[in-house]
Structure 1
Amino acid sequence: MKNKINTFSQLNRKQKLQYIWDYYKIHIIVTAAIICILFSIIRTVHKNHDIDLYVAYVNIAADDSLLESIDDATGLNISNYTNLLITEDPASDNLEYAYASSMKLMSAISAGKLDIIVADSYGIEMAKNAGYLTNPKDYLESKNPALANKLENYYVEDESCVPYAIDLSYSNIFVQAGFSEHLYVGIVASEEVSPEVSDYLLSIN
């Protein structure tokens, strides 16, 4: 040990660094990896803590331009689930991907990390049939009566005339995005739904 210390003290700076790397590189790599993992965990927790709203886009090509427009309009810190595909067509080439999307959607709802689902007619119908959605009219009447009245002509009702979604043709942002089909927004049926939902629906007008 004494000989190693003496040898080390006689090395120049570059040689000392090489010596440390040669003998302790495994320790250095492991320590660096642990630091990176801890930093990633802390960053994720901090980011999630600051999220105002979780939105899932189902069967919709929600590009960066659209998402940025919504962020700017709402002023909210929104976490988006994109590229979700829902289909039950057995002939579909994307059936496995659709299954994975369904699992992701269900997991997000179970974890209390989904507030809004934006989808095409098939996607929003699937969400309704799965019991994911609450009555948007009742929800808005309790949070923002003025907005509830404003959207009166845009509620989508089931066969019992109970609203389960909102037609997004009222939204300038989505209309200007130029989608070729009707889009709908549903509010997730959960006690943990963000109070920012009404702000989102109001701001995208």
Structure 2
Amino acid sequence: MDILFYWTDQAGVAVFAIAGTLLAFRKHMDGFGVIILASTTAIGGGTVRDLILGLPVFWTHDPTYIYTILVAAVLTIVWLRYKAYIPMTTLQIADAVGLAFFATMGAEKALSAGFSPFIAVIMGTISACFGGMIRDVLARDVPMVLKSELYATTCIVGAMVYTLLVPYYPIIALAAGMLSTLIIRLGAIRYQWSLPVFPDHHDHH
């Protein structure tokens, strides 16, 4: 299982690095900007999670994560050389896949460190959301997590599915946690699903 978790984590880092690179491309950033956005998206959430849990920050002990970011960013740049325009949906889909990976892997990291399922769900959500939040702030966008479509909620659901199933079916838990996050997030992007808290102000004029 450990090797499966490890490569799932690497895949999540790669996908988030791609999402960061796509946003840097949309913002016409230079090479340095690309690396900063790719890196913060890919390892920002996991770094915050490890610091909160008091664990060694994952990428400081395994430089493979940094190589993964660089390779993913470079391959994305090469691919973008042939694209004049990247639709926002491409970025949102890459981001959604990253969320799916990290909501489950963040929860797994907390559980394997001996934390309760409740804390694991919170850490899965932080792992998934914080990198993209930092990325959007650096790019001067409204963070996706603050927009109306379901975002953090999808990570909470995915992390909960994972933590509930993992004691019984570890492999199924991994797949179910990731798929539930991905399906709800893609549905939210496609159909504008949201959790309305405040009524629309226009109703009261």
Q: What TM-score do the two structures reach when normalised by structure 2?
A: 0.28
Larger fraction in strand: 1
Q: Which has the larger radius of gyration?
A: 1
